[in-house]
């Protein structure tokens, strides 16, 4: 898969081939011709920046509840261009902050409420896809958190204990090495924690289908329209390259890209996550690997690995490790990082010897957003008319659905089960100014990689006490 080397500025309306940004966009089943741009200044009841999952779910729930609203979505590229059209296909009930850390910060009851809502979001996405006729390839295979090597066993046992403390362990299962191998054969797997509250999706089909569902409900989506600034107060508005959009409420749903707006530059840290994908595997290769249940699979590395099995029989292997870029910069060229992509191919072959001769056909990536305390925000300030949901730290597929439900209720002034969760109106502190931000992010990235390597070499679990661990994990 090659990418035409066109800079953002040079790209004319026809110049970009959006299919080259991920396997998902390539196989979205359409040619991805952009919708018309905003023709000029306008007014709306609600204006939304970003046609990813957050913006689209917010528009969807607003219009479901009040079809009379004029909802306008402004998207600088096309619907599904960002992380929503490029991710690892996990639709997972896990929240970016661990249950232990959530309970420490917000108490057991609030944590339990939040995690139950996350489980509900996984179901809800499947339900809406079905109801709206979106061919999202939603498949409820569950999730398998694998201990690769003895050093990782305490982490999965600890995760099970945390679920027990919240009374949420009922349908989780700790598997020993033999039971794990019955689901999937991974080199060095010593055990796993199985969680049924997870599905795989075709992310771009979900995003694109959701955009059409929003339009069927009367929402308007303008593509290749960039918001350059926003203002709250008595006249909330977006400033765009095609003029002002005044609205009763403006919604900032741009995740990592929000760091490009001057007012939000230090609110989220864009970190790249990268993916490699194999060709469709043969029956013999699948017989060696197993994985009939198509669970989403991860191990317990701080540096994060995530795997899924696509509907057409490929293995997707994703991970972090690409370096943070100075000044929170986001560029197309960062989507590819040869060293990291090669490391992912190498690791995939290490996990699955059956891949020795398999071809890797695709490699891509994209930016996700880390807030300073790893805690997503879903907020609305009625006095300012400004709403936002962001900071999913790479676990945003199901979370964005919860955000959409929450922002819609907050904007409509409804007091519901989702409007009192700990994520609502949460305000993380800002990231440090540069160059401290760059120094800190690079230090933590390198430090966590070293901790992972040491654990694998010594067979001893991480202590959780190194500076990098204290700074960079929750
Ligand atoms: C490689 C990768 C793998 C991932 N894997 C998973 C996974 O398996 N499971 C999971 O749960 N999460 C995963 N994530 C995270 C998840 O995909 C995101 O958290 C989620 O999609 C965020 O949705 P969003 O709508 O908030 O943001 P995005 O999908 O990034 O959408 C933001 C949109 O806003 C637009 N935009 C930005 N700025 C402007 C502007 N100024 N004006 C107009 N439009 C603008 C962008 O073009 C973009 O389309 C992954 C992320 C990446 C990058």
Measure the CA–CA gap between 222 and 290, rounded to whole angstroms.
Answer: 44
148: CA distance to ligand 1 center in Å? 29
Looking from the CA of residue 50, the nearest atom of ligand 1 is 34
83: CA distance to ligand 1 center in Å? 3
Contact 254 CB / ligand 1 (< 6 Å): yes
Average pLDDT of the residues in 365-377: 95
Tell me the pLDDT band of 190, cut-offs 50, 70 and 90: very high
213: CA distance to ligand 1 center in Å? 19
Contact 86 CB / ligand 1 (< 6 Å): yes
Tell me the pLDDT band of 1, cut-offs 50, 70 and 90: very low
Tell me the pLDDT band of 460, cut-offs 50, 70 and 90: confident
State residue 453's pLDDT score.
Answer: 77
Contact 96 CB / ligand 1 (< 6 Å): no
State residue 439's pLDDT score.
Answer: 82
Looking from the CA of residue 80, the nearest atom of ligand 1 is 49
Q: Is 90 exceeded by the pLDDT of residue 16?
A: no
Average pLDDT of the residues in 16-25: 96
The pLDDT tens digits for 333-344 are 999 999 999 999
The pLDDT tens digits for 213-253 are 999 999 999 999 999 999 999 999 999 999 999 999 999 99
Contact 52 CB / ligand 1 (< 6 Å): yes
Looking from the CA of residue 396, the nearest atom of ligand 1 is 19
The pLDDT tens digits for 388-415 are 999 999 999 999 999 999 999 999 999 9
- Whether the CB-CB separation of 428 and 371 falls below 8 Å is answered with yes
Average pLDDT of the residues in 418-445: 88
- Least Cα distance to 136 among 201, 76, 92 occurs for 201
State residue 470's pLDDT score.
Answer: 64
Looking from the CA of residue 227, the nearest atom of ligand 1 is 42
Query: What residues contact residue 191 under an 8 Å CB cut-off, 6+ apart?
Result: 146, 147, 153, 156, 174, 175, 176, 177, 180
State residue 12's pLDDT score.
Answer: 54
Average pLDDT of the residues in 115-128: 98
- Whether the CB-CB separation of 248 and 264 falls below 8 Å is answered with no
Contact 60 CB / ligand 1 (< 6 Å): no
State residue 458's pLDDT score.
Answer: 80
193: left (phi over 0), alpha (psi -120 to 50) or beta: beta
State residue 178's pLDDT score.
Answer: 98
Contact 81 CB / ligand 1 (< 6 Å): yes
Q: What percent of the chain has pLDDT over 70?
A: 95
Contact 257 CB / ligand 1 (< 6 Å): yes
Q: Is 60 exceeded by the pLDDT of residue 2?
A: no
Contact 408 CB / ligand 1 (< 6 Å): no
Tell me the pLDDT band of 6, cut-offs 50, 70 and 90: very low
Tell me the pLDDT band of 4, cut-offs 50, 70 and 90: very low
Pocket test of ligand 1: the residue of 8, 49, 50 to mutate, having most ligand atoms within 8 Å of its CB, is: 50
Q: Is 70 exceeded by the pLDDT of residue 10?
A: no
């Amino acid at each position: 898969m090659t990418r035409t080397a066109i800079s953002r500025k040079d790209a004319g309306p026809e110049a970009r081939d959006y299919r080259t940004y991920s396997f998902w966009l390539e196989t979205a089943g359409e040619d991805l011709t952009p919708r018309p741009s905003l023709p000029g200044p306008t007014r709306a009841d609600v204006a939304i920046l970003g046609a990813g999952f957050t913006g689209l779910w917010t528009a969807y729930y607003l219009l479901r509840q009040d079809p009379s609203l004029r909802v306008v979505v402004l998207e600088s590229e096309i619907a599904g261009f960002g992380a929503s059209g490029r991710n690892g296909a996990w639709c997972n009930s896990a929240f970016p902050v661990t249950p232990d850390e959530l309970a420490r910060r917000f108490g057991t009851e609030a944590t339990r409420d939040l995690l139950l809502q996350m489980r509900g979001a996984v179901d809800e996405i499947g339900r809406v896809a079905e109801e709206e006729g979106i061919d999202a390839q939603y498949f409820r295979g569950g999730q398998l958190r694998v201990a690769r090597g003895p050093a990782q066993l305490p982490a999965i046992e600890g995760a099970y204990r945390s679920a027990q403390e919240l009374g949420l362990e009922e349908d989780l299962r700790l598997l020993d090495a033999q039971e794990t191998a019955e689901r999937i054969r991974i080199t060095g797997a010593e055990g796993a924690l199985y969680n049924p509250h997870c599905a795989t999706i075709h992310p771009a089909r979900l995003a694109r289908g959701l955009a059409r569902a929003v339009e069927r409900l009367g929402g308007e989506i303008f593509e290749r329209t960039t918001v350059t600034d926003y203002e709250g107060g008595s006249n909330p508005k977006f400033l765009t390259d095609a003029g002002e959009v005044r609205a009763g409420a403006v919604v900032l749903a741009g995740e990592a890209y929000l760091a490009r707006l001057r007012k939000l530059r230090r609110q989220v840290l864009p970190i790249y996550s990268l993916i490699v994908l194999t060709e469709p595997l043969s029956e013999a290769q699948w017989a060696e690997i197993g994985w009939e249940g198509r669970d989403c699979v991860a191990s317990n590395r701080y540096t994060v690995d995530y795997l899924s099995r696509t509907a057409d029989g490929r293995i997707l292997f994703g991970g972090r490790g690409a370096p943070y870029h100075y000044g929170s910069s986001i560029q197309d060229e960062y989507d590819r990082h040869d060293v990291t992509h090669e490391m992912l191919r190498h690791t995939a072959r290490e996990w699955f010897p059956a891949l020795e001769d398999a071809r890797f056909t695709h490699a891509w990536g994209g930016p996700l957003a880390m807030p300073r305390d790893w805690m997503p925000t879903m907020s609305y300030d009625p006095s300012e008319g400004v709403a936002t949901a962001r900071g999913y730290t790479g676990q945003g597929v199901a979370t964005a659905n919860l955000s959409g439900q929450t922002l819609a209720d907050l904007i409509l002034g409804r007091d519901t089960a989702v409007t009192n969760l700990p994520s609502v109106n949460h305000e993380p502190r800002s990231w440090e100014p540069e160059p401290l931000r760059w120094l800190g992010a690079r230090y933590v990235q390198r430090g966590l990689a070293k901790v992972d390597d040491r654990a694998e070499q010594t067979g001893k679990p991480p202590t959780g006490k190194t500076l990098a661990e204290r700074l960079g994990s929750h």
